[in-house]
């Protein structure tokens, strides 16, 4: 049972983020890959898209009380160095495009979570 809870990440705040991997404007119109240091401090940004498999031992990923933890014999999780979002409606990429018309790895942006939901990440180009 969790008896003390403190939120370490505020979904109401706007954060700095950087693009992960070189992305075309066509790719970005579907989903935009970004790294958010405040949200992902234990994941290395790297020089491009990185997806790795992590083996989990025991129940280290669950905060449930031992009486209600799921029964697992071992598992693997995929860890990635980015989260995906979409551009805000009023955002223009004109000042962020590289010479090939795409977005270079490491380009800086601002991002926020609409309605405080992780699945509603919006990227602002200002």
- Written as one string, the DSSP assignment of 52-121 is EEEEE-TTTT--S-GGGPPP-S-EEEEEES-EEEEE-TT---TTT--TTSEE-TT-EEEEEEGGG-GGGE
pLDDT at position 109? 93
| CA count, 13 A, side-chain hemisphere, 120 | 8
pTM: 0.75
Tens of pLDDT, residues 12-31: 889 999 999 998 888 777 78
Mean pLDDT, rounded, for 101-112? 92
Query: 92: which 2 tokens?
Result: 């223009």
> Does residue 9 form part of some domain?
no
> Has residue 4 been placed in a domain?
no
What's the domain count of the chain? 1
Range of the domain at 22: 15-49+82-124
pLDDT at position 72, please? 62
CATH number at residue 29: 2.40.50
How does residue 35 score in pLDDT terms, banded at 50, 70 and 90? Answer: very high
């Amino acid at each position: 049972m969790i008896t003390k809870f403190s939120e370490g990440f505020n979904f109401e705040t706007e954060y700095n983020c950087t693009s992960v991997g070189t992305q075309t404007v066509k790719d970005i119109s579907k989903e935009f890959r970004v790294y958010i240091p405040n949200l992902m401090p234990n994941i290395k940004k790297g020089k491009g898209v990185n997806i790795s498999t992590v083996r989990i031992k025991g129940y280290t990923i669950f905060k449930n009380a031992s009486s209600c933890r799921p029964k697992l014999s071992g598992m693997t999780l995929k860890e990635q160095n980015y989260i995906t979002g979409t551009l805000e409606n009023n955002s223009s990429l004109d000042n962020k495009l590289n010479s090939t018309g795409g977005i270079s790895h490491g380009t800086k942006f601002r991002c926020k979570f609409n309605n405080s939901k992780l699945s509603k990440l919006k990227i602002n180009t200002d």
